[in-house]
Chain A
């Protein structure tokens, strides 16, 4: 493994980015779903920095209660503070904690990387909310505002960017730095075709799960995602204004695009007549630069691809996960312990295959885009 490290160092040579570390992660038996996602998150620089910042601001040696957040932060700090530029690290504590906390991930079975990512982000949010709540009650009792143990990013937690949520949210939820990175708002618009009243319901998301088609692109999948659906025949809409069932047109729009847009391609589809899941190896082109056009507030949110979690294999219950990461304009390939430099053009070999039975089984599964244009609202 020293050899791979030095090979990567050699390949980068003078261009090795200042202060950056590229470390492979040891596999503890089918933990590649975890490793691939951790690499993508580590190279989501704002997320990494905010996690470490929050952790160092809130580290409380008195109550050393371990949770996924502390384990993740410890792991990220461990990587970033390595003396060597490259090498391998065993994310032992993190994986142990994960297995302890959630039964699903306990077995040595093949796990779904998207499920893991979703679980991890929600777990982080829960931890932050819990800590903020206890910090609030602490500060309430002691009434010294300096004692608020929140990180700097959490201080104006109830941001205005969610206040226009239309009835769907009862109480203002806490907007943590995790939300600020990953959360976007979708709006579900329904127009009654009789009285033409439009009802809008907002919902938040941390990632978008898209249905995919053969030989399509992310743009067309997004277009399908927000295409107009007519509620008719046996499936009419109950219009509150008309007090009756009427035809209606319904569409989903991205109202507030997130800073980090995580797109999950639904490659694992339940096939009714087979009674099991099947992997769709469809070719879905994901561009390096993505423009969102179907948003309400920002008509042209632009994004740049920085990480891809790739599923390797032909079925849903077995296979392997690797990740592609863009760091300082170099593309790197992370496969558990191994880290290699790849050419940008190699990214397109992970789009999928046009034929059903292809030898190429490496398909982009989770895409991480970072916004390049500054948001006009937040």
Chain B
């Protein structure tokens, strides 16, 4: 039963993996909060009386969350983590299925009631998937649309069917199920052939499910809606027209013109006769699809309309958008009223009982009273106005300062998120990153440990950055972005292996003075410590399957052997994780990679469960952490000339150009000069190709009592007539003092 190296795994390893990037996402807050704008909402009404309703939120932080809506207020009951970019939309389909789409170009299918299991990843889109639409909550028909004009209609049940069987067979008993193998294998290449041992991954199988494509959009799609019976699909985007489709065939039925800018949101009534559209031209339009014409246009907003929701009878519409305002409009009388104003643009709305959930581009969601059952009651409170039919009519109102007063001041429920990071700066030491979040808080991160090492509070980012300025030069071994509201650190081979550091500088004890570590390699080892441990347990248990060794399952995952002593016993010295690279277990970072089989995935480092993930790590990562094989990279040496300072009487014999590691410090150069002066003969070991450092390594300043040390003269090293501090590295001198691309020139003299 401990057949760990499954068939899928072995055949997978022979496939070429070309991806060059591995990303890890840091977090310092509890996992029950979103840390970036909310893009989508979906409400699941409970079927049983004793259960609570659920709200699903999808965020720009790349995750979805389920909120249990108890009387005590909402609480986070699950996090759906697998997308590697913004979650743009989510809908509920038949059988408690949650479907989400992302800027990572995938559509993912989840069991909405699970603890976050991704059942399936659908790869059909080639660009960001911006929106989804479903028929009714029992139906399996959903549609996805995105940039580049791609529109697909899916039968979710059919899309899931071909792989469920193999998913069962390859499922490991020890896994928690997140991102199971089914979701990481491309649907076109995987199909069950007899037993699981014979799954063929090499021949693409045309039998895989292919969705219906609705072809016709020339430009990107930003809005999508389907009627309840799934007989009508509408889409809109930068073409400024509403396109109407038959989702059963993917054929075009009509095209409706009227908007003068991008269409951002669409809504269909249950019958599919009426359609509402919201546009960047700030207008809401009501269309009669039967008559193929625009019945009304409503100038309610002063800026783009991004979100619409209607009462069940389609008599009233709730609308929100870039102007941060939520309005209620009577579609028949054109009477409109301002319900509330927010601090951020409104991205989506969801009706829930008598209230409305409002998502904004910040990380919080609020529920507002809305009198959904009897919207007329809102108008009785006064403050309503008549919506015009020209886009500038409302803009004028706001210019005149006669904007209405919102009916509601306070939301009835709030789900608060944490502020997302909006600004960042990589510090010169290339281990620390300074960030500022949307609340103005400035923090300093140590990215090789994934933790915040200092919280400055609300201070000036620029000033803090200046205060932290260090004159050191270390190669750029990683890049950072903050699109997910947290720090995403990207490692790309081979550039990521360009930075080395002395063990001494990291306070790693018990190492010789000249011991260097490769920062990226140590970081990868730290990130994958848990995975390596699991893997070792599994391979150990499988090798000793006949023995009495405990299986990997029996070892509690709470005791993470991240410190070196615990691993020491059964590993070669090299696989130790040094303390400066021990990642947080309380707030574990997530790994993201493009994956080789099932496309991009994301997982917390503590959820990596051993060999099963191996096939989806880029090969260079495995080479690095398992075999200590680093890719060939550019020379880490620095060439320089060592010449006497002008007017100095001291002259030593040097053999032209010297070469040393870029991180070599000035005091080593001092040692070299002294050694040469005292010995008064050229060091045989010195050549122009790197042997310089070798000649020095045994001459440790502190340890030996070599004759030249006793009469040690004081030597000063200069570059561009500037005295260099003994701590400076050659790379730092080159960047900050030499400032030229040609070979560095250092000058020496006896201190006066």
On chain B, the residues within 8 Å of A195 by CB distance are 322, 345, 361
On chain A, the residues within 8 Å of B322 by CB distance are 195-196
Q: Tell me if A233 counts as interface (CB < 8 A to partner B).
A: yes
Whether A243 contacts B482 in the complex (CB less than 8 A), given A195-B345, A230-B238, comes out as yes
Tell me the count of chain A residues lying within 8 A, CB to CB, of chain B: 11
Q: Tell me if A288 counts as interface (CB < 8 A to partner B).
A: no
On chain A, the residues within 8 Å of B127 by CB distance are 232-233
On chain A, the residues within 8 Å of B483 by CB distance are 242-244
Q: What is the CA–CA distance of A233 and B147 in the complex, to the nearest angstrom?
A: 8
Task: Determine if A196 and B220 form an interchain contact, defined as CB atoms under 8 angstroms apart.
Answer: no
Residue in contact with B481 in the complex, picked from A193, A244, A247, CB distance below 8 Å: A244
Whether A243 contacts B304 in the complex (CB less than 8 A), given A196-B322, A232-B148, comes out as no
Q: What is the CA–CA distance of A117 and B235 in the complex, to the nearest angstrom?
A: 52
Residue in contact with A193 in the complex, picked from B222, B422, B485, CB distance below 8 Å: B222
The interface centre, meaning the residue of A232, A243, A244, A249 with most chain B CB atoms within 10 A of its CB, is: A243
Q: What is the CA–CA distance of A324 and B280 in the complex, to the nearest angstrom?
A: 48
Task: Determine if A243 and B220 form an interchain contact, defined as CB atoms under 8 angstroms apart.
Answer: no
Whether A247 contacts B280 in the complex (CB less than 8 A), given A230-B238, A233-B147, comes out as no
On chain A, the residues within 8 Å of B335 by CB distance are none
Q: Tell me if B154 counts as interface (CB < 8 A to partner A).
A: no
On chain B, the residues within 8 Å of A233 by CB distance are 127, 147-148
Whether A196 contacts B280 in the complex (CB less than 8 A), given A243-B482, A244-B86, comes out as yes
**Chain A 229-246 interface mask (CB, 8 Å, partner B; 1/0):** 010110000000011100
Q: Tell me if B166 counts as interface (CB < 8 A to partner A).
A: no
Task: Determine if A193 and B361 form an interchain contact, defined as CB atoms under 8 angstroms apart.
Answer: no
Residue in contact with A244 in the complex, picked from B103, B280, B303, CB distance below 8 Å: B103
Q: What is the CA–CA distance of A230 and B219 in the complex, to the nearest angstrom?
A: 10
Whether A243 contacts B481 in the complex (CB less than 8 A), given A196-B304, A233-B127, comes out as yes
Task: Determine if A247 and B220 form an interchain contact, defined as CB atoms under 8 angstroms apart.
Answer: yes
On chain B, the residues within 8 Å of A196 by CB distance are 280, 303-304, 322
**Minimum distance in angstroms from B363 CB to a CB of chain A:** 13
Q: Is the interface of A mostly helix, strand, loop or mixed?
A: loop
**Minimum distance in angstroms from A305 CB to a CB of chain B:** 35
Q: What is the CA–CA distance of A30 and B276 in the complex, to the nearest angstrom?
A: 68
Q: Tell me if B391 counts as interface (CB < 8 A to partner A).
A: no
Q: What is the CA–CA distance of A247 and B304 in the complex, to the nearest angstrom?
A: 16
Q: Tell me if B336 counts as interface (CB < 8 A to partner A).
A: no
Q: Tell me if B167 counts as interface (CB < 8 A to partner A).
A: no
Q: What is the CA–CA distance of A85 and B483 in the complex, to the nearest angstrom?
A: 71
Q: Tell me if B262 counts as interface (CB < 8 A to partner A).
A: yes
In chain A, residues 72-120, which have Cβ atoms closer than 8 Å to a Cβ of chain B? none
Q: What is the CA–CA distance of A247 and B239 in the complex, to the nearest angstrom?
A: 14
Chain A, Cβ-Cβ closest to B39: A194
Residue in contact with B422 in the complex, picked from A230, A243, A247, CB distance below 8 Å: A243
On chain B, the residues within 8 Å of A232 by CB distance are 127, 147-148, 220
**Minimum distance in angstroms from B342 CB to a CB of chain A:** 15
Q: What is the CA–CA distance of A221 and B219 in the complex, to the nearest angstrom?
A: 24
Task: Determine if A193 and B219 form an interchain contact, defined as CB atoms under 8 angstroms apart.
Answer: no
**Minimum distance in angstroms from A120 CB to a CB of chain B:** 34
Chain A, Cβ-Cβ closest to B424: A243
**Minimum distance in angstroms from A377 CB to a CB of chain B:** 22
Task: Determine if A193 and B103 form an interchain contact, defined as CB atoms under 8 angstroms apart.
Answer: no
In chain B, residues 418-433, which have Cβ atoms closer than 8 Å to a Cβ of chain A? 422
Q: What is the CA–CA distance of A196 and B361 in the complex, to the nearest angstrom?
A: 12
**Minimum distance in angstroms from B265 CB to a CB of chain A:** 13
Chain A, Cβ-Cβ closest to B130: A194
Q: What is the CA–CA distance of A196 and B222 in the complex, to the nearest angstrom?
A: 13
On chain A, the residues within 8 Å of B422 by CB distance are 243
**Minimum distance in angstroms from B153 CB to a CB of chain A:** 23
Q: What is the CA–CA distance of A195 and B86 in the complex, to the nearest angstrom?
A: 14
Residue in contact with B238 in the complex, picked from A193, A243, A244, CB distance below 8 Å: A193
**Minimum distance in angstroms from B362 CB to a CB of chain A:** 12
**Chain A 214-237 interface mask (CB, 8 Å, partner B; 1/0):** 000000000000000010110000
Whether A193 contacts B220 in the complex (CB less than 8 A), given A232-B147, A232-B148, A243-B481, comes out as yes
On chain B, the residues within 8 Å of A247 by CB distance are 147, 220, 238
**Minimum distance in angstroms from B703 CB to a CB of chain A:** 50
Q: What is the CA–CA distance of A244 and B148 in the complex, to the nearest angstrom?
A: 18
**Minimum distance in angstroms from A263 CB to a CB of chain B:** 31
Chain A, Cβ-Cβ closest to B127: A233
Q: What is the CA–CA distance of A243 and B303 in the complex, to the nearest angstrom?
A: 22
**Minimum distance in angstroms from B84 CB to a CB of chain A:** 12
In chain A, residues 244-268, which have Cβ atoms closer than 8 Å to a Cβ of chain B? 244, 247, 249
Q: What is the CA–CA distance of A247 and B322 in the complex, to the nearest angstrom?
A: 17
On chain A, the residues within 8 Å of B345 by CB distance are 195
In chain B, residues 547-565, which have Cβ atoms closer than 8 Å to a Cβ of chain A? none
On chain A, the residues within 8 Å of B485 by CB distance are 243
**Minimum distance in angstroms from B89 CB to a CB of chain A:** 13
In chain A, residues 141-181, which have Cβ atoms closer than 8 Å to a Cβ of chain B? none
On chain A, the residues within 8 Å of B219 by CB distance are 230
Q: What is the CA–CA distance of A193 and B261 in the complex, to the nearest angstrom?
A: 10
Chain A, Cβ-Cβ closest to B306: A196
Chain B, Cβ-Cβ closest to A239: B483
**Minimum distance in angstroms from B325 CB to a CB of chain A:** 15
On chain A, the residues within 8 Å of B304 by CB distance are 196
Q: What is the CA–CA distance of A233 and B483 in the complex, to the nearest angstrom?
A: 18
Q: What is the CA–CA distance of A249 and B262 in the complex, to the nearest angstrom?
A: 11
On chain A, the residues within 8 Å of B220 by CB distance are 193, 232, 247
On chain B, the residues within 8 Å of A230 by CB distance are 219, 238
**Minimum distance in angstroms from A227 CB to a CB of chain B:** 15
**Minimum distance in angstroms from B709 CB to a CB of chain A:** 54
Q: What is the CA–CA distance of A232 and B304 in the complex, to the nearest angstrom?
A: 21
**Chain B 215-241 interface mask (CB, 8 Å, partner A; 1/0):** 000011010000000000000001000
The interface centre, meaning the residue of B361, B482, B483 with most chain A CB atoms within 10 A of its CB, is: B483
In chain B, residues 621-673, which have Cβ atoms closer than 8 Å to a Cβ of chain A? none
Q: What is the CA–CA distance of A202 and B290 in the complex, to the nearest angstrom?
A: 48
Q: What is the CA–CA distance of A242 and B482 in the complex, to the nearest angstrom?
A: 9
**Chain B 117-154 interface mask (CB, 8 Å, partner A; 1/0):** 00000000001000000000000000000011000000
Chain B, Cβ-Cβ closest to A197: B322
Q: What is the CA–CA distance of A196 and B322 in the complex, to the nearest angstrom?
A: 8
Chain B, Cβ-Cβ closest to A191: B280
Q: What is the CA–CA distance of A196 and B481 in the complex, to the nearest angstrom?
A: 21
**Minimum distance in angstroms from B155 CB to a CB of chain A:** 28
**Minimum distance in angstroms from B52 CB to a CB of chain A:** 33
On chain A, the residues within 8 Å of B280 by CB distance are 196
**Minimum distance in angstroms from A241 CB to a CB of chain B:** 9
Q: What is the CA–CA distance of A249 and B222 in the complex, to the nearest angstrom?
A: 14
On chain A, the residues within 8 Å of B481 by CB distance are 243-244
**Chain A 179-212 interface mask (CB, 8 Å, partner B; 1/0):** 0000000000000010110000000000000000
**Minimum distance in angstroms from B682 CB to a CB of chain A:** 48
**Minimum distance in angstroms from B207 CB to a CB of chain A:** 31
Q: What is the CA–CA distance of A244 and B61 in the complex, to the nearest angstrom?
A: 12
**Minimum distance in angstroms from A115 CB to a CB of chain B:** 30
**Minimum distance in angstroms from A145 CB to a CB of chain B:** 38
**Minimum distance in angstroms from B24 CB to a CB of chain A:** 17
Q: What is the CA–CA distance of A195 and B220 in the complex, to the nearest angstrom?
A: 15
Q: What is the CA–CA distance of A196 and B220 in the complex, to the nearest angstrom?
A: 15
Give me 20 A-to-B residue pairs in the complex whose CB atoms sit less than 8 angstroms apart, sorted by A's number.
Answer: A193-B220, A193-B238, A193-B262, A195-B322, A195-B345, A195-B361, A196-B304, A230-B219, A232-B147, A232-B220, A233-B148, A242-B483, A243-B481, A243-B482, A244-B85, A244-B86, A244-B103, A244-B481, A247-B220, A249-B238
Binding site for A on B (CB under 8 A): 85-86, 103, 127, 147-148, 219-220, 222, 238, 262, 280, 303-304, 322, 345, 361, 422, 481-483, 485
Known: A193-B262, A196-B303, A243-B483. 19 other contacts (CB 8 A): A193-B220, A195-B322, A195-B361, A196-B280, A196-B304, A196-B322, A232-B127, A232-B147, A233-B127, A233-B147, A233-B148, A242-B483, A243-B485, A244-B85, A244-B86, A244-B103, A244-B481, A247-B220, A249-B238
Top-9 shortest CB links A-B: A244-B483, A243-B483, A243-B482, A196-B304, A196-B322, A247-B220, A247-B147, A196-B280, A193-B262
